[in-house]
Amino acid sequence: MRKLLALVVILGITILGFSAFAQEEPVYLGTAIRSLSNPYHAVWAEGATAFAKSLGWEDYNVIQTCEGSSEKQLNDIKALVARSQGNAVFSIDPNQATDTQAIANELEKSGVYFLTWWNKPDEVKVSDYKYWVCHVTFDNRASGYNTAKILFDSIGGSGKVFALQGLLGNSSAIERWEGFERALAEYPEIELVGWQAADWEKVKAYNQVSNALVADPDIKAIWCANDAMAIGALEALRARELIGKVPVSGVDAIPEMITAIKNGEAVATVASDAFWQGGMGLSIPLAAKQGKIKVEELPENKREWIADTILITQENIDWYIENYVEGAPEYDWNDYWGKWVRGIRE
């Protein structure tokens, strides 16, 4: 029995030694996101590529898009694991929150380190897994709350407001809406005259806002749960010659929205910094694979945590454009916890 144990220990050490030796060998960097057809994920992919370049591993940088299919996402991940014979790390934006567990089980089985973003079921615990390094998300409630406050302040804290929700039932939509409602409660002079769902889309937002302006011509401001809808709202305002007179807010910091804020047409948005997500999503699991991060030693609140966002307003728009639009942001990819705010469960 003792001999057997010794054997296992020796074997283990040998394997560890080999993997330590293999540190300089390139590792496949898998990024699994939904699609490249939206600016958010497009910037994300740029961040991932920048990270791969910083290591000189461009050829090992693999961007996978699932185009709304959970099954495709899982299959793509499996395929890369097989191709790299397990020599890979993953940064994953799951197609649906409920997919997280299946992906986690698959990668855990193959011993591949990975990090997930945005949504996962509450009951699934990262600390139950060895290779699932972190789950990182952003505070949607704070985004909804902060943009609403700036919007309300921009009309002097009183007047009629209209709001556009995202896809009803979607968890980001629900959380941002909760933040909006919290802000609303703090401003008794603000009257919410109506809200509609525009499913995160520009054209639907254009239509909904056009109709809302007929229903209530003295709407003073419009809150939107994301920037695409905010752009639709802005164009509806433009068609009715109200642009610049009715402030609009959004979330996501897409380029059009940055321009709109710069032009004084919109007042607020929130950047989750997709470029940073793209790079850091790979850097952290790679650090775990290379032993720079000891997963089992990480406290609970660093396994599931909330990352900092950038609130963009009229006040900091020039700074944002200078540092994030015109100049590519410089990141220290080894600063793993730079944007750490708090644990999810805190």
Partner 1 sequence: METKTAVLSDKEKTWLSRIGANPSLLALIVLVIFFSFLNPRFFTLSNLFNILDLASLLIITSLSLAFILMMGSIDLSVEGVVGLCSVVASLLVKNFSNSNDFGFLALIICGLVGAGFGFLNGFILSRFKIPSFMVTLGIGYITTGLGVLITRGNPVVITDWSFRLLSLGKVGFLPFPFILALGLFFIVWFISERTAFGRYVLALGGDETIVQDLGIPTSRIKTEAFLIGGILYGIVGALLTARLGSGDITAPLGFTFDSIGACVLGGIAITGGVGNIPRAIIGALILTVLRNGMVLMGVSPYVQQGIIGVILIATVALTIDRKKIKIMK
Contact residues toward partner 1 (CB under 8 A) are: 35-39, 41-42, 165, 168, 194-197, 199, 201-204, 206-208, 210-215, 228, 231-232, 235, 238-239, 254-256, 259
DSSP assignment letter at 299: -
Six-digit token string for 17: 């030694």
Alpha carbons 228 and 198: distance in angstroms, whole number? 10
Q: In what order do the strands lie in the sheet with 114-117?
A: 61-65, 28-33, 88-92, 114-117, 132-138, 304-307, 340-343
Per DSSP, what are the bridge partners of residue 28?
A: 88
Nearest alpha carbon to residue 195 among 159, 227, 219: 219
Six-digit token string for 334: 């080894």
Please say whether the beta carbons of 78 and 65 come within 8 A. no
Alpha carbons 209 and 24: distance in angstroms, whole number? 55
Please say whether the beta carbons of 184 and 218 come within 8 A. no
Per DSSP, what are the bridge partners of residue 342?
A: 306
Alpha carbons 122 and 344: distance in angstroms, whole number? 10
HEC string of 34-55 equals CCCCCHHHHHHHHHHHHHHHHH
Helix (H, G, I), strand (E, B) or coil at 14: helix
Q: Phi first, then psi: give them for residue 188, nearest 5 degrees.
A: -65, -25
Per DSSP, what are the bridge partners of residue 165?
A: 197
Least distance (Å) from partner 1 to the CB of residue 104?
27
* Helix ranges, the chain (H): 2-21, 39-55, 70-83, 100-110, 140-154, 171-186, 202-215, 227-239, 255-262, 274-289, 300-303, 317-320
